[in-house]
Structure 1
């Protein structure tokens, strides 16, 4: 198991320590100036610190900060840098005083919080137990939840009690799908892809049965929902054990329950294969699939739809570092290696999986696609254009949630400012909403272009095609981040089906879609100036825009419909059954 976490080298530790020492010197100098009566005491303190820092290499930083009484002293040395999100600096000080303050429950609690922020889950768990030992009032349930998370990232899988029990006479072509959520209770990218593909499977001769995780949709709609239902003709089973706190359970207990309840459905429906799609942390639904594979001997397919290893933190600088990230990477790879077959959604993702050691011939691609009936070419909606003041202006824009920095709507806003300064009348149209919207609105106001950037807010799913019609050139401005780099989004396919010229940032998952210059063109990710220059050229070249738009429309209608995915699943499961027959 490769669990190398983000560790500071000796030189990095020394550099940080000496930097902190310089700051402490400056702080003491300030105190000397403000409190001349304490000159003697402060001078003595400064001499002590200089003496402590005089060794060739501080094998232990103990002593550097033992006597500091400023903001660098004791617990303050951690909380100060925690607040500033300077976790390495906080760790340097914590390392220096850890032995001295190991019995101080406030310090231990702060150090635990720091290690959680740094993704050092093993140390965080040890410190949590130490806090509980020093303070008996600590809630044992909270400790158990952290233990469950650690266990989930340690090579554990649920175990269904009893001996292995093969399924008698599995139904040919029946596939039991394990998913975290589904239509009709949620409408998002995950559920859209799932439902379209379930229907495509059924239309191509497969027999899908969908099983959602325990507690869904109870958490959304309360107790009034059918335990089994048909969604577009596809049977859906809602695993449920009553009104309990599903979200509050330790994750290992939750997954154990998920596996045992799902096994009952396997016995009932007798599928020929188990299929799991990425869950909330990526691999957890696959862990349930592995438990069913072990119990029944049925072949298991893991569909990797995105990369979730970095989603453990909102601190961008830390998302791809630390022990938590390493453990989650390893568990993903364990699930893929133990699955009988792996599916993913694009070539960029497949290439990444191959680079992580998954055999190329084990990986199939089921791409994202589009409903070419719902999304058809149309003229600009005059009603919406009038509503948003867009009747007479060229436009560019994006349709996306405003919930993650990877979407980089900022690049479009900056490009709009550059276009304005260059004399262009172009308007930027941003369709969608989310927690980042207020900051984006403020950014446009700060640049003096509030009148040129249209924020539509949330729109009804059925109205989305008409909102696309407001956009002359569709831009996907994503910036480098694990999911953005490798995962193909749905929106470009929809824009292509509406015959929109496409411009994307030059990330592998996006260039794969447009195959520049065939179906679209690219600009360097995050480069608003390059984007603005490209847009000015395209606004002046309607023939090139129409050529790209027509090529994109031809491609999605022939190669990227949900219906065509049905045959892809038939082919992939066919390979699976052939391999299983030779075992």
Structure 2
């Protein structure tokens, strides 16, 4: 079986999007399938083409001449449709598998119809909601409604649809999409990357002034919806109960400047550390210092519908997890069993949850092992990717008929 994946961007760019792509393609190769990716014209450099990254082959779409919306977007779609056709003529795939956002899906749909190939469209998030979450869009605006209608159009005409979680599936079913048309391919973890957790990096702890501290940490992008302002606001309350607590924030993003200003003005300023962005190969050193990974996402459509990857990676590394009680987290975390859930948008509830975990060190080992076992059993990429097999085979058989 030969699957051509149609993508917004890919390796060597590092993002949650490219890491999921890498995991899917590598797992499909391990199942004996042949895979290739083709990326749109917006982000990846057009040359070299083809390019091999970590054993995966990607073809590129040349950049298009810039133009105002919507002309520029339609040019991008047309360019990607042409490139898919060129790659398919050469490589002869059995199926086209396009991954959101909607413009990539639209190009995949058009190419599939021209080539008379079965088409699966995969949604990782509703991008109109993601725009609201990162501050670049407004819920209910004309652009928001247009993107939503476009995505519904693609879903209705795709031969099959995949989503990463039940929240997205339920939303599509509520739009009138047949439930049996939508499969769930959840986020997963490559367990080969996560063995026994490394011991604390004492040199790094000393460098950051965290020696002897009970470290609460967040590693990722600083978007507003992540709720890191609530985490900073919770620190003075946490220190009242656990004076040795400290907060380590690793990463960067649109909220970094505001968070640094908030931390500097906080009574807990001396116990808050910003490490900035760190090279990917150095991230484990920072994980090794953290006792509890905190994910205080705010309550909104994006966080209620979409499951994040970071808590799964933390559980795979046998790290304690505390997360806000939003829909995306509830799909991953069983409160009191694999992690701790607390009320969203509530620094006092967050502080109480963290203090409770720090008070209960005797239960840490059991929770870590239970969480790791959950990931091995239900969020292992090998298990997840096997879910595509009956869908692919059914589409190919239907196309042959």
Sort the TM-score into its range (normalised by shorter chain). over 0.9
Aligned-pair distance for 1:408? 0.9
Match of 2:102 among 283, 289, 292: 283
For 2:370 and 2:15, locate their aligned partners in 1 and report how far apart those are by CA, in whole Å: 27
Q: Give the C-alpha shift of residue 247 in structure 1.
A: 7.4
- Mapped to 2, the partners of 1:479 and 1:435 lie a distance apart of 16
Q: Does 1:194 align with 2:21?
A: yes
8 Å Cα contact 1:214-1:246 kept in structure 2: no
SS at match of 1:288: helix
1:114-153 correspondence runs (5 A): none
**After alignment, is 566-575 or 503-512 more displaced?**
566-575
Deviation readout 1:131-186 (Å, 9 max, x if unpaired): xxxxxxxxxxxxxxxxxxxxxxxxxxxxxxxxxxxxxxxxxx111111111112x0
Q: How far did residue 264 of structure 1 move? A: 1.6
Matching residue of 2:229: 410
Residue of 172, 177, 183 corresponding to 2:11: 183
> CA separation in 2, counterparts of 1:464 and 1:370?
16
Report the alpha carbon displacement of residue 552 of structure 1 after superposing the two structures with TM: 0.9
What pairs with 1:526-541 in structure 2 (closer than 5 Å)?
526-541=345-360
1:227 pairs with 2:54: no
Flag the structure with larger Rg.
1
| Residues 459/247 of structure 1: CA separation in 2 closer, same or farther (3 Å cut) | farther
Segments of structure 1 that go 5 or more residues without pairing to the other structure are 1-172
Instruction: Tell me whether 1:264 sits opposite 2:83 in the alignment.
Output: no
Output one character per residue of 1:478-519: Cα deviation in whole Å (capped at 9) or x when no partner.
Answer: 002332221111111111111111111111111110122331
Residue 581 of structure 1 deviates from its aligned partner by 4.5
User: Which of 240, 247, 255 is the aligned partner of 2:77?
Assistant: 255
Alignment partner, residue 88 of structure 1? none
Given that 2:132 and 2:139 are in contact with CA atoms closer than 8 Å, whether structure 1 keeps it comes out as no
Moved over 6 A (4+): none
Deviation of 1:579 (Å): 4.0
CA distance in 1, matches of 2:66, 2:26: 29
1:386 counterpart residue number: 206
Q: Which residue of 1 aligns with 2:256?
A: 437
2:291 equivalent in structure 1: 472
Distance 1:514 1:352 in 2: 21
Give the Cα–Cα distance (whole angstroms) in 2 for the partners of residues 513 and 473 of structure 1. 16
Structure 1 counterpart of 2:60, from 213, 238, 262 = 238
How far did residue 216 of structure 1 move?
4.8
Per the alignment, do residues 465 and 575 of structure 1 end up closer, same or farther by CA in structure 2, a change over 3 Å counting? Answer: farther
Alpha-carbon spacing, 1:367–1:312, altered in 2? closer, same or farther (3 Å): closer
Measured in 2, the distance between the counterparts of 1:228 and 1:197 equals 19
Matched, 1:555 2:374: yes
Distance across 1 between alignment mates of 2:133 and 2:349: 29
Q: 1: distance between equivalents of 2:157 and 2:212?
A: 57
TM-score normalised by the chain length of structure 2: 0.93
Secondary structure of the equivalent of 2:311?
A: helix
Is 2:23 the counterpart of 1:204?
Answer: no
Q: TM-score, normalised to structure 1's length?
A: 0.65
Aligned residue for 1:493, secondary structure, equals: helix
- Conserved in 2, the CA contact under 8 Å of 1:179 and 1:213? yes
- 1:375-404 C-alpha deviation (Å, 9 max, x unpaired): 3322222122111111211121211111x2
1:437–1:566 CA distance, 2 compared to 1 (3 A)? same
Q: Distance in 1 between matches of 2:277 and 2:187?
A: 23
Q: How far 1:291 moved relative to its partner?
A: 0.7
Q: Give me the whole-angstrom Cα distance separating, in 2, the residues matched to 1:445 and 1:352.
A: 41
Counterpart secondary structure, 1:406: helix
Aligned to 1:414, the other structure's residue is in SS state helix
Partner SS, residue 93 of structure 2: coil
2:230–2:345 Cα contact (<8 Å) kept: yes
Structure 2: segments with no counterpart, 5+ residues: none
Rounded Cα–Cα distance in structure 2 between residues aligned with 1:338 and 1:499? 42
Q: 2:331 aligns with which of 502, 505, 512?
A: 512
Normalized per residue, which structure has more strand?
A: 2
Whether 1:426 aligns to 2:245 is: yes
Can you list the C-alpha shifts for 1:382-436, whole angstroms capped at 9, x where unaligned? 122111111211121211111x210111111111111123453211111111232
Contact kept? 2:134, 2:225, Cα under 8 Å: no
Match of 1:401 among 207, 221, 227: 221
Distance in 1, matches of 2:30 and 2:354, equals 41
8 Å Cα contact 1:176/1:210 also seen in 2: yes
Q: CA deviation at 1:340?
A: 0.5
Does the 8 Å contact 1:201/1:570 carry over to 2?
A: no
Q: CA offset at residue 315 of structure 1?
A: 9.2
CA RMSD of aligned residues (A): 2.1
Specify which of 200, 208, 213 is matched with residue 40 of structure 2: 213
Q: 1:572 to 1:385 in 2, by over 3 A?
A: farther
Contact 1:307/1:482 (CA < 8 Å) preserved in 2? no
Deviation at 1:466, TM superposition (A): 2.1
- 1:448 correspondence with 2:267: yes
Aligned to 1:298: 117
Mapped partners of 1:325, 1:215: distance in 2: 20
How big is the shift at 1:335?
0.5
Aligned residues: 398
